[in-house]
């Protein structure tokens, strides 16, 4: 009962409640605000600017530099397991920073997409349709909290396992801090690294989960739209002119759906492309670490990291495949409507509309990769290539041998 009071959008509303598709991104957009990428509110201008500077300086800008500088200065002091733990996160941190900058540049498109969802909501009239959207909204918000839990569990696991063995989680470079010199310096560096990584995970949840949140509610509207198409021409009380008007309204509905997709396409294209570039490499380093070097604590942290990396692309790629199937169902639904007895103008318009419906909605990663399950499997398989290469070249044995000699 208390959870419903503070997080009402997590629960499905009754069919009598008004539809608010924009609630599917309610908690997502609140977190996007706390990422510090929105225009500062007038009332809390100074506080928001300071928070934005602290979070983005530590997580977006300095953290990738800290990883690289740490490797240059202290590479010889890393054990193989510590190096791989740091390296697997470093690649993901660099990609996360790039995705944050893309979202920062295009953040207004979230508001534009929600405004288009409001247009779709005005076409929802039946209780069953309202309930379908309510279910999509609650599922969307629950998925967002699931993403947040997985990402934060990883950050916390890595921090605790590192503290247990008396080292900072990633051994990044911080000026004036030498964690080997004293317990105070160790605590300060571990705290700074945890703050930066927790902030990066918080940002990563937002930039990875927004496609899922928006497309889930879009699929609900497309399912309702398919039923609307199937009902065309079935009312005996409608005149030929009224039937034609219903068809024109459906054409307008389809244009609204396409406008919604076009609004989000630049955001999705950029962020998914960046993730596709690094996911195979990151998973490869993680597999090597788990199989060859990790102790129990770091293995648990690495497994939670692997789950977080897989969440960055896999759910949305699955949804893209479902979205393609939904588009084909739209054409089938229109063809199954009562169009044979319509006037010539109605039939000609319907045939043209049918051709448009048969063009599936697809997302491309920077016009290079189609975003689909097949592409996701291809880039993920690269991790096994990385693992195989390391095994065949005996790199792991060489690293372990050099550590024993030191």
Mean pLDDT by 10 residues, the chain (406 residues): 82 92 95 92 92 92 85 71 73 89 95 96 92 96 94 86 82 82 87 90 93 96 94 85 92 96 95 88 79 71 81 92 93 90 88 90 90 90 75 59 50
Cβ-contact 276, 369 below 8 angstroms: yes
pLDDT the model gives residue 396: 54
C-alpha span between 201 and 203 (Å, rounded) = 5
3 assigned to some structural domain? no
| Residue 15 resides in a domain | no
| Number of folded domains that form the chain | 1
> Is position 13 within any domain?
no
Whole domain around residue 347: which residue ranges? Answer: 20-403
Long-range CB contact pairs, 6-12, < 8 A, 24+ = 7/141, 9/137, 9/138, 9/141, 10/138, 10/141, 10/142, 10/145, 11/138, 12/131, 12/134, 12/135, 12/137, 12/138
Asked whether residue 7 is domain-assigned, the answer is no
215 within 8 A of 319, measured Cβ to Cβ: yes
Nearest to 278 by CA among 102, 89, 103, 105: 89
pLDDT at 397: 57
State the angle between helix axes of 80-106 and 183-230 in degrees (0 to 180), rounded to the nearest 10.
Answer: 50
- Burial of 247 (C-beta count, 10 Å sphere; 0-12/13-18/19+): buried
4 located within any domain: no
**pLDDT given at position 398:** 54
- On whether residue 9 sits in a domain, the answer given is no
Is 5 within a domain?
no
220 in a structural domain? yes
């Amino acid at each position: 009962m208390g959870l419903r009071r503070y997080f009402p959008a997590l629960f499905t509303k009754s069919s009598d409640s008004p539809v608010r598709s924009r609630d599917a991104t309610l908690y997502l957009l609140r977190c996007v605000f706390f990422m510090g990428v929105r225009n500062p509110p007038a009332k809390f201008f100074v506080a928001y600017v300071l928070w934005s500077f602290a979070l983005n300086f530590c997580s977006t800008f300095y953290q990738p530099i800290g990883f690289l500088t740490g490797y240059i200065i202290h590479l010889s002091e890393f054990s193989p397991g510590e190096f791989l733990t740091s390296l697997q996160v470093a690649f993901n941190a660099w990609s996360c920073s790039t995705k944050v900058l893309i979202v920062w540049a295009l953040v207004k498109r979230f508001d534009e997409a929600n405004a288009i969802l409001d247009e779709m909501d005005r076409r929802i009239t039946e209780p069953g349709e309202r309930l379908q959207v309510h279910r999509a909204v609650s599922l969307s918000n629950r998925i967002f909290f699931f993403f947040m839990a997985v990402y934060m569990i990883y950050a916390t696991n890595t921090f605790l396992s590192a503290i247990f063995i008396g080292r900072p989680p990633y051994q990044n470079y911080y000026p004036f801090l030498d964690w080997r010199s004293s317990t105070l310096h160790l605590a300060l560096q571990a705290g700074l690294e945890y703050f930066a990584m927790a902030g990066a995970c918080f940002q990563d949840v937002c930039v990875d989960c927004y496609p899922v949140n928006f497309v889930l509610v879009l699929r609900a509207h497309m399912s309702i739209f398919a039923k609307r198409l199937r009902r065309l021409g079935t009312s005996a009380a409608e005149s030929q002119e009224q039937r034609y008007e219903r068809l024109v309204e459906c054409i307008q509905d389809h244009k609204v759906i396409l406008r919604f997709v076009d609004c989000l396409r630049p955001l999705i294209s950029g962020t998914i492309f960046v993730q596709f570039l690094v996911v195979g490499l990151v998973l490869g380093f993680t597999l090597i670490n788990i199989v060859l070097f990790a102790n129990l604590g770091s293995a648990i942290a690495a497994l939670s990291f692997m789950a977080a990396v897989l969440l960055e692309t896999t759910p949305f790629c699955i949804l893209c495949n479902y979205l393609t199937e939904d588009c084909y169902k739209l054409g089938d639904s229109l063809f199954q409507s009562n169009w044979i007895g319509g006037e010539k103008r109605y039939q000609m318009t319907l045939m043209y509309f049918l051709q448009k419906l048969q063009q599936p909605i697809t997302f491309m990663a920077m016009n290079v990769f189609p975003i689909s399950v097949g592409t996701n499997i291809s880039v993920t398989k690269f991790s096994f290539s990385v693992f195989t290469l390391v095994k065949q070249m005996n790199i792991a044995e060489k690293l372990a041998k050099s550590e024993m000699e030191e």
